[in-house]
Structure 1
Amino acid sequence: MCRAQLLSIACCMAALSPPAAAAADIRVLATGVYASSLRDLAGPFEAMTGDHLVLTITNAGGVLAKLAAHEDADVVMTASAGIDALVARGDVRPETKFDVARMRLGAAVKSGAALPDLTGEAGFRTALLAAPTVAYIDPKGGGSAGAFFDGMLTRLGLAEAVQAKVVLCATGAEVASAVASGRAAIGLTQASELIDAPGVAFAGFLPEAVNTWTPYAAAVTTTTQDPSAARAFIAFVTGPNGSARLKQAGWDVPPR
């Protein structure tokens, strides 16, 4: 059989074969607590599926604001209560909500600095009073941790002392940056935003008496053009590979 005949047969077979599925751009809108894990998981997910992730990281208030402004997103990942609020607004599909894991608060200091004693409330109080500057998320900026810290400091009777030297930040990533740069001596935010942050040393989780657990979830938006690809991404993040990475970042992952 000549080369022309072989080429003709190959062309006919290609015409009869079903087209390969086009790669999807999966737009993920997530809070900073997920940031380091999602960035690490993006490559393996893209290699496995051929799809491309477009990550937008903001705080909890930013998630609500961006969807209210009709910014494009296929998957939303935020606190479970935030997903419920988006369900009520009609922004995400209620049947797609999936509980990802829980996160608690932690503290960090600049790399090389002495770690504070976080084994109990007394040591934590001492650390806050001794630190010349303390960074946490601005409670007026829409982040969930900031309001909690304001209330916690009031309960501990430390509000006046700490707020006189506070460095308010828009996101957990900014808290970590403030510590790494020396703008703040100690930073407080969700632990996963500190554990992997460059230039800081994770001091540990806050004592249980002053800490809080926040459940986080994911859901598919009502405006996505490819809900199957969006669901596949959530399944990957909550599957074996994703769960292993989340645990490395300090998440409490439930048994699947």
Structure 2
Amino acid sequence: MRINRTIENIAISLLVLLILSSSATAAEIQVITSGAFAEALKTLAPEYEKQSLNKVIISYGSSMGGAPDSIPSRLARDEKFDVLILAGPALDGFIKSGTVQPGSKVNLVASVIGAAVKAGAPRPDISTMPAFKDALLNAKSVAYSASASGTYLSTEVFPRMGIAEQMNKTAKKIYSERVGTVVARGEAELGFQQVSELIPIPGIDFIGEIPPEVQQTVFFSAGITSNVSNLVAARDLIAYLASPAASPVIQKAGLKPILPALPW
């Protein structure tokens, strides 16, 4: 009986040590992502958690702009995150300011700009530059993102096409929600945003990418903040998001995986 009790006590002690060890190595990873990678991350986070003790807590915000829920605004309010996922140029700015650790940037995906109309509405041709220009000028209302893609369209593409003045009258910048949602409600005839931000939206028809002559490919990247709670866990999550295992989900979301070499 004494031997059995000793064995039982040893087993209980080992179990307690195992539980304590598991609790000590588990981490909550606070991640904020811009819209382009949002749908992919929603699917990938649970898959990551199946093969890790860590828990991923996701927040959302645009890569740039002054909207209250944009990533710059939330960081300016000292909201704490461990990993940022957003347009590469915007992440570079956070590295320069010291918000994100130098050497932690990992390009995850390439993203391009597309267009959509309300489901069932006529689909204008945007496959060539003349057709694209006609579609823009003939639309009674146009919506574009307040983030990277919309800034590019409004400040570079429209002026280059010679239609900036006309677009100032018919186009509007959308803050704090997806362009596709605005199009689905019938508040804009034509909407532009990253392809991965358009295709998940119900009530719209995706009509294609804008012409190659004005297309902008943006790398969306992950970086680790300077006040990260658990550096090992943050690196582990980014490594998973950058791995071949994540590629099918990324491609389904309308993005192109990069599969980079990790910097650490």
TM (norm. structure 2) is 0.87
Deviations 1:211-234 (A, max 9, x none): 111122111111011011111111
Distance in 2 of aligned mates of 1:194 and 1:253: 18
After TM superposition, the structure 1 = structure 2 runs for residues 182-221 of structure 1, keeping only pairs within 5 Å, are: 182-221=186-225
After TM superposition, the structure 1 = structure 2 runs for residues 1-256 of structure 1, keeping only pairs within 5 Å, are: 5=5, 7-15=8-16, 17=18, 19-22=20-23, 23-61=26-64, 62-138=70-146, 143-150=147-154, 151-171=156-176, 173-256=177-260
| CA-CA distance at 1:203 after TM superposition | 0.9
| CA-CA distance at 1:16 after TM superposition | 5.5
Deviations 1:10-54 (A, max 9, x none): 324335657332232111111111111111112111222132221
Deviations 1:121-140 (A, max 9, x none): 111112112222111124xx
Distance in 2 of aligned mates of 1:18 and 1:174: 43
Distance in 1 of aligned mates of 2:226 and 2:55: 20
Compare 105-114 and 14-23 and name the one that shifted more: 14-23
Compare 2-11 and 175-184 and name the one that shifted more: 2-11
Deviations 1:51-103 (A, max 9, x none): 22211111122222322332110001112222221111111111221111221
Distance in 2 of aligned mates of 1:85 and 1:254: 21
Distance in 1 of aligned mates of 2:82 and 2:3: 47
Distance in 2 of aligned mates of 1:170 and 1:18: 45
Distance in 2 of aligned mates of 1:66 and 1:13: 44
The one-letter code of the counterpart of 2:167 is V
TM (norm. structure 1) is 0.89
Is residue 178–residue 197 contact of structure 2 (8 Å, CA) maintained in 1? no
The total of aligned residue pairs comes to 251
Distance in 2 of aligned mates of 1:21 and 1:9: 18
The one-letter code of the counterpart of 1:237 is L
Cα pair distance change 1:71/1:16, threshold 3 Å: closer
Structure 1, unmatched stretches of 5+, are none
Structure 2, unmatched stretches of 5+, are 65-69
Distance in 2 of aligned mates of 1:49 and 1:153: 46
Distance in 1 of aligned mates of 2:246 and 2:15: 37
| CA-CA distance at 1:3 after TM superposition | 11
SS in 1 for 2:96: helix
Distance in 2 of aligned mates of 1:75 and 1:13: 34
Is residue 40–residue 249 contact of structure 2 (8 Å, CA) maintained in 1? yes
The one-letter code of the counterpart of 2:15 is A
Cα pair distance change 1:4/1:166, threshold 3 Å: same
Is residue 29–residue 56 contact of structure 2 (8 Å, CA) maintained in 1? yes
